[in-house]
Amino acid sequence: MVQPASYDANSIQVLEGLEAVRRRPGMYVGGTDLKALHHLVYEVVDNSIDEALAGACDQIEISINADSSVTVEDNGRGIPVDIHPEKKISALTVVMTVLHAGGKFGGGGYKVSGGLHGVGVSAVNALSEWMEVEVRRDGNVYFQRFERGHPIGVVKIIGAAKGAVTGTKTTFKYDPTIFKEETDFRFDTLMQRFREMAFVTRGVTIHFADERSGREMTFHFEGGITSFVRYLNRNRENLHPVVFMEKIVDGIGVEAAVQYTDAFTESVYSFANTINTVDGGTHMTGLRSALTRVINDYARKSGLLKDADPNFSGDDTREGLTAIVSIKHPDPQFESQTKVKLMNPEVQTYVTQVVGEAFTTFLEENPGAAKGIIAKCLTSSRARDAARKARDLVIRKSALESLTLPGKLADCSEKDSSKTELYIVEGDSAGGSAKQGRDRHFQAILPLRGKILNTERARLDKILGNNEVKALISALGMGIGDSFDITGLRYGRIIIMTDADVDGSHIRTLLLTFFFRYMPSLIEDGHLYIAQPPLYRIEHKKQARYVYADADKDAYIKELGKDSEKASIQRYKGLGEMNPEQLWETTMDPQNRTLLLVGVEDVAEADRTFDMLMGDAVDPRRKFIQTHAKKVRNLDI
Ligand code: 0RA
């Protein structure tokens, strides 16, 4: 025994605090849903990440156990166990039971890593059916168990820690009476977060294992966020090596990694105390404005930008930019409880300063790279100019022609967009069948001839010049670019209907890329679908059956047994092989058809995926296409 059991005023206060967490979990961990459940894990792992950021730990092991308990083990200094001077109980017990106690004592260094609301591990303890902590320190192994936040006995020594081994091992089982709904940890969700944590905590090794499935992953990035940028650009052509910059200003750690590529898109991610701030904030603004300023200054000084030329805009300097900015702040201010936007004003000044100095030096010392980056900005600026002119022309034209619909669009009679559908069909012949087969009251048909443009590899001006794309934009009624307005959408469902062959899947991909790049809200709001035409028609004893998958065809033939010799099997190579009635019956009739809803679960991942799919690198594209089918959720209507 290392402490007396005491039930004084302090412990009563403690228990009241934990009761408050159990009564109102929403206030402390953001709810009782799957997201909140995952946050319990992050809260515990954050403590180990803090040890790593303090330079005291380089190994973190996380496992989801068979009983859905979670273990997090690190080789840090171990949570202190000595008796807390005020509370007269072990520091370990205090950390585990007092809200916000986590980093308040012990040696220097402040708590920097995220936490959900910075409540610390005690909130997790309160929401756990049980929790056990093992601390290796001073040659001993200390142990304490808790149930629903209450200590079960005092801190005990249960063994000897070999040599100078130190660390903390925490296992918790969430309380199913609180997390009632959906309660299965998702490996991929957790893995994504651990990968980010490992990127922004250079040198730490995070091993993550799922005992339920046997899956495991190890993350270790010697290069920290430099590796992160390399990872993001793994399928892009870069213009120079990653530029890494780092400085502590006024107690705030600032790190950034920057690399330009030949892509047309921007991939910039920001982190505050290891949390991915998806809505950016002052660190993001600081990074962007520094890059724009430095590039303009250098371009003027070196004469690459002439006196008569206007400055590059922020958009010009962001085309092809991949960057990470990561800050560590003792007192981060976020816009809301969800921690997606950093608000500290001083951070913008510091990031601008650090990135400004370092990137200026980089350009001065690497004139070749500087020239490449500026050439890229020039092309981007000229293209934007051309696009603006082209768009103005399109807008003026469409104002004149007052929304003329494309000639080949067979529109529907219904005007209420919540009831209407637009089928985008490959080829004129399938378009013909679809026009005859449809219910013209609410279904419109737009046939596309041949392939539309690869919009990933072309700029807006060129895209707007393509007739198929033009027809698509005016049929949808929302405009494009800066003038895009989703309220103009003329159809509630946009359905891509292509042949079940290689060309069909290519056209489908080109369309998906176009929508993702230029009309993402169409996907986010759930308007985009993929039609599912049958692969076979099997006729047996004058009974026709449509089959949508090879496996179903095989199953049916097996079912027919010997009789299958009498069946006639027709394989549909294209939509054009179906007559209008068949097309209606199998693919367009809301009573019978199956549609796949296209969703973007994670925009950042989709960004990488689309780039990979449509970019220049060939191998990863092939790999992606093979696994693509699984990513689209099924939706029966
Ligand atoms: C307070 C003080 C010290 C370490 C820790 C907390 C600590 C907490 C956790 C939680 C998970 N792993 C952890 N590792 C360390 C510093 C103690 C010292 O100076 O020795």
pLDDT score for 550: 86
- Report how far residue 272's alpha carbon sits from residue 334's, in angstroms, rounded to the nearest whole number: 9
Give long-range contacts, CB 8 A cutoff, 24+ apart: 600-604.
600/516, 600/520, 600/523, 600/524, 602/192, 603/520, 604/267, 604/269
- What pTM does this model have? 0.61
Nearest CA to 280 out of 267, 291, 292, 293 is that of: 267
DSSP codes joined into one string, 308-342? TSPPPPHHHHHTTEEEEEEEE-SS--BSSTT--SB
Cα(349)–Cα(364) distance, rounded to whole angstroms? 22
Report, as residue numbers or ranges, the catalytic residues.
Answer: 426, 499, 501, 503
Phi-psi region of 88 (alpha: psi -120 to 50; beta: other; left: phi over 0): left
Inter-CA distances, 529 with 392, 426, 492, Å: 31, 15, 11
- Nearest atom within ligand 1 for CA of residue 170: 11
Pocket of ligand 1 (CB under 6 A): 47-48, 51, 74, 76-80, 106-107, 168
Domains of the chain: 19-219 (3.30.565.10), 225-391 (3.30.230.10), 417-533+596-631 (3.40.50.670)
105 touches 208 (CB < 8 A): no
Q: What is the pLDDT of residue 594?
A: 85
Q: How far apart are CA 322 and CA 268, in angstroms?
A: 5
Q: How far is the CA of 97 from the centre of ligand 1 (A)?
A: 15
Q: Which of 79, 112, 125, 166 best tests ligand 1's pocket when mutated (most atoms within 8 Å of CB)? A: 79
Nearest CA to 209 out of 52, 61, 38 is that of 61
Give yes or no for a contact between 534 and 587, defined as CB atoms under 8 angstroms apart: yes
- Taking the chain (637 residues) in consecutive chunks of 10 residues, what is each chunk's mean pLDDT? 44 74 88 90 92 92 96 96 83 88 42 50 95 96 97 95 92 95 85 91 94 94 92 92 96 96 91 89 97 98 92 95 94 78 96 98 97 95 81 56 72 94 90 94 91 62 75 86 82 92 79 83 90 91 88 89 88 87 94 84 50 48 39 32
Predicted pLDDT of residue 17: 81
What does the pLDDT read at residue 637?
26
Of all protein residues, whose CA lies closest to atom 17 belonging to ligand 1?
A: 106
Mutation choice for ligand 1 from 51, 144, 169, CB with most ligand atoms inside 8 A = 51
Closest approach atom of ligand 1 to CA 44 = 11
Could you tell me the sign of the dihedral formed by the alpha carbons of 469, 471, 474, 476, in that order? negative
Query: Strand locations in 94-163, DSSP E?
Result: 128-137, 140-147, 150-160
DSSP state at residue 453 = P
Q: Ligand 1 center to residue 351 CA distance, Å?
A: 29
The pLDDT assigned to 4 comes to 39
pLDDT at 136: 97
Phi, psi of 574 (to 5 degrees): -150, 165
Using an 8 Å Cβ cutoff, are 194 and 45 in contact? yes
Mutate to test the pocket of ligand 1, among 44, 45, 47 (most ligand atoms within 8 A of CB): 47
**Predicted local distance difference test score (pLDDT) of residue 285:** 97
